[in-house]
Structure 1
Amino acid sequence: METLRERKKRRTKDALLRAAVELFTTKGYEETTVDEIADAVEVSQRTFFRYFPGKQEAAFALQEIAEAHFVEAVRERPPHETPLEALRQAVLEGWDTMHESVAAVVPLDLYLRMYQVIESTPMLLAVHLRRSIDAEDELARVLAAREGVDAEEDPRPRLAVAVFGAVIRVTERRWSAGDDFSISAMRELTAAYLDQVGPALMGNWRPAT
């Protein structure tokens, strides 16, 4: 059971994260200072650094929650599903429960707008791509364990995750550049793009003559 002290610390961290995301999405990441985030919660800069090493960690905190939720969802998929099917179903069926975890910290519209900030801020986008490599490595190990193969010897888990990760990145970029920033739009776009993986990789793209 969570103690009173632990509850207070969690509330402070959540408040700092919420304030950071609100400032990042209104002022811009580079224009926001740690002092402004701390002031918004009426705590000291020192308190901010107790919870986050820096602005960058605050900017990606929500993504870390989502990533951890997704990895666990893949791990729990039924064993009869193929690797790509497990990845697809985990991301599509996990939207609601994942967003419940995020919504406990910030409103969902802020979470979705933070995607746009990351995509439009070169510094954050570079970090996002680097973090994606680490996330895909962990996911490959989860798939390998699930399928009973060695991720270091068998290339299939990393290939499957690489294809899946590429589709998700394309989806995020297309979604963030569009006009509909709703969860349903993200879900529909994700499903549509994942359904095209087979035909896109194996089919003939040339128009019929």
Structure 2
Amino acid sequence: MDERTGLRERKKRRTRHAIASAALRLFAERGYEETTIADIAAAADVAPRTFFGYFPSKEDVVFAEVDDRLGEVAERLATREPGETPLEAIRRCVVDVLEAIVSEHGEYGAVQIALILERPGLQARALQRLTDTQEKIEGLLRELCPGIDEIDAVAAAGVAVGGMQAVVVHCRRHGYDPLSMRTALDRAVTIVENGLTTVDALNRPWDEPSP
């Protein structure tokens, strides 16, 4: 049963990725408004009803890999290593996830960013996702650091999400190669970390009790 479930999940991920990739390619070739959901489904070799099984709308397909990858952050943070601090755990998982976000869809990543920056409807959806992500990170910080100050949690989540989002947009917009992208993300995480070193709760090992 577990093997069958795993196969189904992998197939669903492949189908979702194929739909998202086909959509961004068509947006680049034909234009966003000119591309229909039927066009996207045909390019991904699925039925239009299958598209709606994965995405509520054409707008949502633009954010496909961002939604998927952000979901990985919580899963990775759930794996804790002895003596590790929350800040070390965040660095361990965040750079890999962000690198995957920037790399996803190759040359069409820049198309995604251009669409979001040019279209108010997509900007609104992007802002909502940023707000949701910040709230999720804040919740994770509260779980990871039970004694963390309320303002520390809110500010830390805002610094982390805002800083990373800015770097991801920059890397995609300017078509960074993998090595330059990794360097940029490492640097961004270092800057965020330096801003968070004053939050004591983030710098105590998991197994060390709050003072």
Superposed pair shares fold, TM > 0.5 = yes
Unpaired stretches in structure 2, ≥5 consecutive residues: 198-211
Displacement of 1:167: 0.8
Whether the 8 Å contact between 1:171 and 1:193 is mirrored in structure 2 is yes
CA distance in 1 between counterparts of 2:162 and 2:10 reads 39
Match of 2:179 in 1: 184
Q: Identify if the C-alpha distance between structure 1 residues 7 and 20 changes in structure 2 by more than 3 Å, giving closer, same or farther.
A: same
* Number of aligned residue pairs: 194
Higher relative contact order (CA 8 A, sep 6+): 2
Displacement of 1:85: 3.8
1:127 aligns with 2:125: yes
Whether the 8 Å contact between 1:73 and 1:90 is mirrored in structure 2 is yes
CA distance in 2 between counterparts of 1:201 and 1:73 reads 20
Q: Identify if the C-alpha distance between structure 1 residues 78 and 15 changes in structure 2 by more than 3 Å, giving closer, same or farther.
A: same
Unpaired stretches in structure 1, ≥5 consecutive residues: 203-209
CA distance in 1 between counterparts of 2:153 and 2:108 reads 33
CA distance in 2 between counterparts of 1:56 and 1:191 reads 30
Q: Which amino acid aligns with 1:196?
A: I
CA distance in 2 between counterparts of 1:114 and 1:190 reads 19
CA distance in 2 between counterparts of 1:81 and 1:112 reads 36
Whether the 8 Å contact between 1:77 and 1:90 is mirrored in structure 2 is no
Q: Identify if the C-alpha distance between structure 1 residues 8 and 173 changes in structure 2 by more than 3 Å, giving closer, same or farther.
A: closer
List 4+ stretches of structure 1 deviating above 6 A. Answer: 198-202
Match of 1:37 in 2: 40
Q: Identify if the C-alpha distance between structure 1 residues 2 and 37 changes in structure 2 by more than 3 Å, giving closer, same or farther.
A: same
Match of 1:2 in 2: 4
Select 2:164's aligned residue among 161, 165, 168. 168
Moved more, 193-202 or 66-75: 193-202
Q: TM-score, normalised by structure 1?
A: 0.72
CA distance in 2 between counterparts of 1:75 and 1:175 reads 28
